[in-house]
Structure 1
């Protein structure tokens, strides 16, 4: 076995991307030293590198092209709107002054003249500017994926709104607009050229990098899984510190959980692998939209993603074993569930059954499982390494040598045959120890009919635990086997033999066009966009299931249908997004109003106060916590850029060649941060833009001269003055943004945390209901052909995927809220952070157990999900044992849907969202006892003589997940009551008030008696 290699080429690609981002900036600074170029762009040339930065040329091809097209469209829209309101402004000036008599001076660009202040033009411009600020920031809140394109839109509008009130005629207006469009699109063009000509990066390249990381994380998961299983039998056999307090009471009182390093390591590794899966899932839609020269098609990447998902699902299912062990430990250990005397089988000692003997038997069972599983773990690693190497995701094997893998692949049956045989050997090796343990513990006598004896229940729980572990191991190995067969298929059909031109289908282009106008809150990269806006706004949409309006009946005639459309206007204007846009517009106008007043207009233009106005719009977000965090990092980033500007300029005493070199070094530093920390791009982006505003302007002045530089109305400052001015402008903009975060109203991360938690509970109820509906269709064989897009099961699975994605987005958003809360000042009592964290954990557990139930039931009918059509060689019904057929038929007669759970989650959602107490006497529905239901149909179906059947393990997983789900649901209800309270509808308060004002003698005796009894 070779030494594990790190993801090949990843660091080299990251370093190259940092260099790639420097190229547009370096090219512009060099080209601007040409006299003709400097004369053409005059005083706005420094905007070119800024525009090249804002379209981010290092993005993968699909996202870059999409962003570039949207940015170009919004820039043209800004130009058209600017022409409109600037034309109106010039008309207002013409109707109130005689232009010929006004003194004209050189404007901001060649062939543009400016004139003195005019009240009518300024007032008109101010109104239009305020309206546009409100409109585009409202749209930014509705569509956070357009954050960067809307920044470009805002910069264009800010520039034209500043100079529009001092331009005399429409000819000068057109000259300014034309030159601005020229400047902006030259920056876009440079970014476009660099993106396609210098180290072109496609989404496939990004997915390949993620898959490389995924491979190493899966190895970490399997290693941690092995250590976890080794430690599992000792957790915790004889823990005598049994507490009568609930988990909520223990945790809220500051009790600490016992340390379990193996479980924590497994959770950490699984979380990293899950994050990789989410990243791949979020990038797949861009893979489908790309044109490229490659071997694997978009459908192949989709198949790989789904195969990897099938590997991760049973791996994550080991969480059930962790939760069970923790709960057993809290209840006092396995020994707390023993009877007074226990009689083992004939192989037991003669002096009864001391705990030591039972513990040794339990330990011996796990040791035999571990011995047979070691070969399986090694085979799984070989399968992963072989599949990734064969599909050319890795350039060389990561864990084994190339010779080892080729030798294994050239043997009879290939590596797929070796892995399949290893799985079968494991299944065979597990049979005897498992049957022996059942015989020695007397399970053969009691499991067929559910027993209430504590010892029998303990043995049953232990059996389900060991079956859950084995199920997860075997299904993981089978999923890896599917991946290996898929890799062999791609070799056999010639896919990996040569590259070909791959184009997006018409369907994908149509979906891309539709996505430009829709909210992307069911896509897993939506959280990345919404993180910049402070909170992910996920709409429940069809999940509500009700389209009725309590204030309006459905429209029935033409007039009602037409006027019903008008209701959209107050709905948008009155939305929280509109209020956010109004606050941003008000904050910007706090600064920009000085541009439209006679005594301050000249000062506003001379001292570049426009920087502060732009900063208000950029730094405000929808929640106070995220806003304060963003404002702080912007201020810090500007200060850091000021220091870099001093270094870049004065270390070479302002010599152009040296300045360009040091600016390139500074930009590489910022770009490296942007590439390696893409989730938080504020500091690198604000730093690069600030350096270009300072150093780019100074280089421009050196080239065109001070006289021309001040012709646009802006006074010249050397670097040592301009950099602090820039910092002061940012400080002013950030200060106003911070003030408006809390005035006149505030939307805190704490309030959003509560609302998002309520949304998550509602979506969880819908997901739980749809999952059980899918399970019912699958077991009753009513789901139709899974390949048919119109089949009931296919539609339900698609809806489940969207619900699951929205819940993941909300869960990640709530985790961000918990981080942003640290930036919010606390007024009054403390925030119940521990309660919210527990509620979030319960919600994730219920989501995980629900998904595991759906996954386990797929093995009942052997319906493979989300795999390539030709990559699966699954066990068919003809190969099933008689018991497996009987078991499947018995399961199909059961109705597993639990409406009580769905109703409870909906009620809890309403209580958390509104902040009102939960209804009184609310109880958790009784957990569904699958074993009792099966025994009622066939008493022999669960006899432990069938314990080694594949379906038996799936049943154990389902029963265990159902039980754990019920426990978490009860804890969720308890924590919700602790958070919002429980409504009190008794007579105690009424009686005390009556006695106070009327007298105790007038109170009926029945009421007094009932009170005493209570």
Structure 2
């Protein structure tokens, strides 16, 4: 279990080093001036003339800032270097070195690859797994050596001379080779199926490779025992040194990392809100809103065109900034999801308990959904602009529409500006109340000015936020009603075609002109955008309010008065162990559930285990036992097993030299074992990443060799100088690890080459030449050893690449196509579950969500799991797209743009469905406040959902793309599925704007906008998939020259389809 030996900081200020720092420019002037100066952080400058000018930084400080070395990057650079130099230094004492034979350099390597830079919780879990697999590997190595020795004894004559009895023995070699094959297959299969075992698997791989390649040389059991013991001691010593550095030198707890992530997330939310406000200010520059009527001001046509181009560029710039800020929020939230797991498991001495951390994460998740949904406004504006033909800019209708839109947007500017400023103060209040930031300096109030609004950090700020939210919401509702009444627009759902909306009072239907209808449609689209934005901003406000209430409660109930020992719950520990063993939590598979004691609720097929098209459900005990037996061939056919077999073949293609008489000595003399290590840890499941790793490994390994030369000869081969200079080279390597994590494997390979050269040379000086060559390895000086190390490591990298593409390359293109097909099917499941969830929430059915047996609870759980799987696949596909330039290109070019567009459209559909699910969360509470939503639900016709057609279409697209089969002919995409289309009779009157304040009204508008966007994205997906796989179309057409006649017509009709 993770434990803690370091308490949390009283104010959690040290967590700021792991997150985005407070930017004083983002604060209000009075708040920024009230913040105290923070040591080692950005100083808050006053704008007063008396403030001294900042001093110019020294050259070292400017270089430090230009390189982007933050405290976190500095920690990543320093900790591995310290652990390595400690391991190297203690080995220089002879009484220490004699315990490790000639394997002492392994201490340095193990102290690095145990990864002391990990947070405490992650590190201790990783250490536990490393120790377990190391000890298990020790047992396997000793067993293999013992079996090899027995095979040697049984095949060697009793009177054999020592050269035969102690020399090469084919039987012992075969036994060790078999053990090596089995262990390589098992550990690499496990590594491919369990991501958490990646680092421990490297330890196990090195241990078994070193053990089984030296195994054939062990002639007696005592020799095997000594070798295994010293190999184990080297590993355990490296673990111990790494643990000491991880826990006592610049210690970082998982809780601190999580709190730093919370600070970074909240600060990024402040920036995103300001970016959103900037976008709102240029919303009138969008194409949907028409062009500005500049002609009436006697502006030249050329100047008007130039001005319009500048405004369009400004709109695109603000939209790009909004999308970038939203993407940053999503990345931070994904990191928080990983960090909170370890923060909850960690034992610590601090303030906030495991339950508090879980609640904070849930509050942040509630903030993330609506605040990231704000970035979709630009996409929605673009989609609503498509297909809408704006009238001429000089026309009277366009001038009137433009004026109305400007009035609405300008009014919205004021409310958005006020709310975003209050939200900015609220987030600052949260950070202060949770002790993530220091409290502002108290200032005396001016009695003549009366009571002022509470400031961040003051009591009663939550009530002030609630009053502000209610006031702004009421003002906006009144303005919308007044704006629509003045213009005769009674309904925001004017674009729907399946229900009747009465015309303005006093106007007959036949008197309505086409311009009037077009104006209503355009106004309806704009009102949808306004309601969409206001609802999401209101949702952000309410989510922030909940977190403010939580922070104030913790600040006032004595949570921060006294530290206490925080121990994780037993349930958390059990869940961790189960997840470690199984790889994931078990899913509910029962399809019949007893709810409320009397009713039998039958759940759909998606709640059951996946059906097998080749087998019926088992009925007898023997059939059920047969199902378990069928798991064996299913496992052997899995991707992880195939990867394990591929790695085993690659390793044995070189390791066979160790077990053949003619090449055995060469293998030992040239240290080819490190070639095997690079093969095992450098293998990749796909060819694109393999080419990237190949090039990176070769380049960085060469750099490591040059670094070893410099490290050894620049100090004239003096031991003290070599040791002093050694950590600076490691800091250089790990700087690039911190800045460019995708180069982790190549940089580790270069670091490994450096350590192998320097560590071995220093080891020979300590233990002597005789002991260093006792295992059959000759001594080489540095100028010879370094190239040999480069060749062995480089050969391992090349062999790993060869067996990645041989016999059948697993290309990034094939993986991307498979993942994209799978993501479309998961998207269909997610759409179906979201639709079912909205129906249950709207009708207020499905039981109490607080009960484990509630169908609605199970449905929501499956919906969240589908979302999580979709997000994981999207991240994986983006990573594959990044590796596509390195993939093998044989034949035509890969349609990268089409696949990239498909991934983006899948991301958009996922985002809109998440917004739909989030908006419907307010339905259960709305039912208890007003009968409006119940009336709306009773007027719906739920017998035919257009969303079911979209689900069917997505499943069909998934199968076509995954199997590479053409789409069926004449495939029709749904024109739209909107919740307002399902109203019957006079239900359309429920959607009049006089009901805008009814609980659930705005949620319906948001769902309608998101549904329309889902349909638009689906139409694009169909078009893109059709480009990739084609269509079953056996028709033909005849083209004739323009103007000539044919049997099929002439002119524009000269080319027609004939079936």
Give the structure-1-normalised TM-score: 0.85
- How far apart, CA to CA, are the structure 2 residues paired with 1:115 and 1:509? 51
> Counterpart of 2:477?
431
Asked if the contact 1:33–1:703 (Cα under 8 Å) also holds between the matched residues in 2, the reply is yes
Larger displacement relative to structure 2 (307-316 or 569-578): 569-578
Per-residue deviation, 1:854: 1.1
Gaps of 5+ in 2: 1-27, 42-68, 292-311, 446-450, 503-513, 588-604, 1039-1055
| Whole-angstrom distance in 1 between the partners of 2:402 and 2:229 | 83
How far apart are residue 215 of structure 1 and its match?
Answer: 2.3
Corresponding residue of 2:530:
466
For 2:921, what is the secondary structure of its paired residue?
helix
Q: Would you say 1:139 and 2:190 are equivalent positions? A: yes
| 1:417-447 residue CA offsets vs partner (Å, 9 max, x unmatched) | 2211221222233234323431343212894
Secondary structure in structure 2 of the residue aligned to 1:293: strand
Matching of residues 167-246 of structure 1 within 5 Å: 167-237=218-288
Q: CA deviation at 1:558?
A: 4.5
> Would you say the 8 A contact 1:522–1:805 is kept in 2?
no
Say whether residues 1:86 and 2:145 are aligned partners: yes
CA distance in 1, matches of 2:1031, 2:39: 53
Q: Partners in 1 of 2:381 and 2:426 — Cα distance?
A: 30
**Structure 1 match to 2:49:** none
Alignment of 1:55-70 (within 5 A): 55-70=114-129
Q: 2:569 aligns with which of 505, 525, 542?
A: 505
Cα gap change, 1:561/1:368 in structure 2, threshold over 3 Å: closer, same or farther? closer
Correspondences of 1:410-489 after superposition (within 5 Å): 414-444=460-490, 447=494, 449-450=500-501, 453-489=517-553
The gaps in structure 1 that reach 5 residues or longer are 106-113, 241-255, 339-350, 524-541, 864-875, 992-1010
**Aligned counterpart, 1:158:** 209
Shift of 1:7: 12
Q: CA RMSD in A?
A: 3.3
- How far, CA to CA, are the matches of 1:906 and 1:297 in structure 2? 44
Aligned mates of 1:6, 1:795 — CA distance in 2 = 48
For 1:29 and 1:179, locate their aligned partners in 2 and report how far apart those are by CA, in whole Å.
Answer: 17
Matched, 1:97 2:156: yes
1:37 aligns with 96
Q: Contact (CA 8 Å) 1:71, 1:152: kept in 2 or not? A: yes
Question: Could you tell me how far apart the structure 2 residues matched to 1:135 and 1:403 are?
Answer: 70
The SS at the match of 1:449 is coil
Aligned to 1:957: 1006
More off after superposition, 26-35 vs 126-135: 126-135
Measure the CA separation in 2 of the matches of 1:556 and 1:304.
47
Question: What does the per-residue CA deviation read over 1:840-890, in whole Å, with 9 as the maximum and x for residues that have no partner?
Answer: 111111111111111112223337xxxxxxxxxxxx945x5x656655765
Change (3 A) 1:720 1:904: same
State whether residues 697 and 747 of structure 2, in contact with CA within 8 Å, keep that contact through their aligned partners in structure 1: no
Q: Name 1:821's counterpart in structure 2.
A: 884
Is the aligned partner of 1:115 residue 2:172? no
Distance 1:335 1:849, change over 3 A: farther
Task: Indicate yes or no: 2:196 matched with 1:126.
Answer: no
Q: Determine the C-alpha separation between the residues in 1 that align with 2:405 and 2:754.
A: 66
- Map residues 661-740 of structure 1 onto 2, 5 A cutoff: 661-678=724-741, 680-740=743-803
Distance in structure 2 (CA, Å) of the matches to 1:287 and 1:412: 29
Matched residue, 2:812: 749
Q: What is the DSSP-based 3-state SS (H/G/I as helix, E as strand, rest coil) of the residue aligned with 2:83?
A: helix
SS of residue in 2 equivalent to 1:181: helix
The 8 Å contact of residues 776 and 897 in structure 1, kept in 2 or not, is answered as no
Q: 1:686 to 1:807 in 2, by over 3 A?
A: same
Note the 1:258-297 alignment, pairs <5 A.
Answer: 260-297=316-353
Distance 1:822-1:300 versus aligned 2 partners, 3 A rule:
same
Confirm or deny: 8 A CA contact 2:391 2:397 kept in the other structure. no
Q: Cα distance, 1:127 vs. partner?
A: 2.8
Q: Which has the higher contact order (CA 8 A, sep 6+)?
A: 1
Distance 1:321 1:73 in 2: 51
Q: How many angstroms does 1:381 deviate by?
A: 0.3
Q: What's 1:984 paired with?
A: 1033
Q: CA deviation at 1:102?
A: 4.3
Distance 1:682-1:411 versus aligned 2 partners, 3 A rule: closer
Residue in 1 that maps onto 2:704? 641
After superposition, the C-alpha distances for 1:73-121 in whole angstroms (9 at most, x for unaligned) are 111221222222222211221122247744479xxxxxxxx93211222
TM-fit CA distance, 1:216: 2.4
Work out whether residues 629 and 823 of structure 1, in 8 Å CA contact, stay in contact via their aligned partners in 2. Answer: yes
Question: Which residue of the partner structure matches residue 314 of structure 1?
Answer: 370
Alpha-carbon distance change, 889 to 419 in structure 1, aligned in 2, over 3 angstroms = farther
- Give the Cα separation in 2 of the matches to 1:165 and 1:277: 52
SS at match of 2:565: strand
Match of 2:84 in 1: 25
Give the CA deviation at 1:948: 4.8
- State how far apart, in whole Å, the 2-side matches of 1:392 and 1:936 are: 57
Partner residue, 1:904? 953
Q: How many residues align?
A: 925
Partner SS, residue 287 of structure 2? coil
1:789 offset after TM fit, Å?
3.4
Q: 1:378-389 residue pairs with structure 2 within 5 A?
A: 378-389=421-432
**Displacement after TM superposition at 1:961 (Å):** 0.6
Q: Secondary structure at the match of 1:501?
A: strand
The yes-or-no answer on 1:74 pairing with 2:133 is yes
Contact 1:224 1:265 in 2 (8 A): yes
User: What's the counterpart of residue 590 of structure 2?
Assistant: none
- Say which SS state the counterpart of residue 941 (structure 1) adopts: helix
Q: Mark the CA change 1:741 to 1:331 in structure 2 (over 3 Å): closer, same or farther.
A: same
CA contact (8 A) 2:490 2:992 kept: yes
Deviation at 1:683, TM superposition (A): 3.6
Alignment of 1:571-650 (within 5 A): 571-650=634-713
| Residue correspondence of structure 1 range 792-871 to structure 2 within 5 A | 792-862=855-925
Cα 1:773–1:937 shift into 2, 3 Å = farther
Q: Deviations over 1:787-810 (max 9, x none)?
A: 333333322222222211111111
Q: 1:670 to 1:520 in 2, by over 3 A?
A: farther
Is contact 1:656-1:699 (8 Å) kept? yes
User: Which residue, 339, 360, 366 being the options, matches 1:304?
Assistant: 360
Q: Give the Cα separation in 2 of the matches to 1:236 and 1:941.
A: 31
CA 1:545–1:557: 2 relative to 1, 3 Å = closer
CA distance 1:546–1:501, change in 2 (3 Å): closer
Residue by residue over 1:645-665, the C-alpha shift from the partner in whole angstroms, topping out at 9 and shown as x without a partner, is 122211211212211111111
Map of 1:350-369 to 2, 5 A cutoff?
353-369=396-412
1:331 aligned counterpart, secondary structure: coil
Task: Answer whether contact 1:90 1:168 (CA < 8 A) is retained.
Answer: yes
State how far apart, in whole Å, the 1-side matches of 2:412 and 2:907 are.
30
Task: Pick closer, same or farther for the CA change 1:32–1:490 going to 2, 3 Å.
Answer: same
The equivalences for 1:759-798 within 5 A come to: 759-798=822-861
* Separation in structure 1 between the aligned mates of residue 707 and residue 919 of structure 2, nearest angstrom: 57
User: What SS is found at the alignment partner of 1:862?
Assistant: helix
Q: Give yes or no for contact 2:842–2:933 (8 Å, CA) kept in 1.
A: no
The separation in 2 between residues aligned to 1:946 and 1:150, in whole angstroms, is 62
CA distance in structure 2 between the aligned counterparts of 1:433 and 1:19, rounded to whole angstroms: 59
2:349 aligns to what SS in structure 1? strand
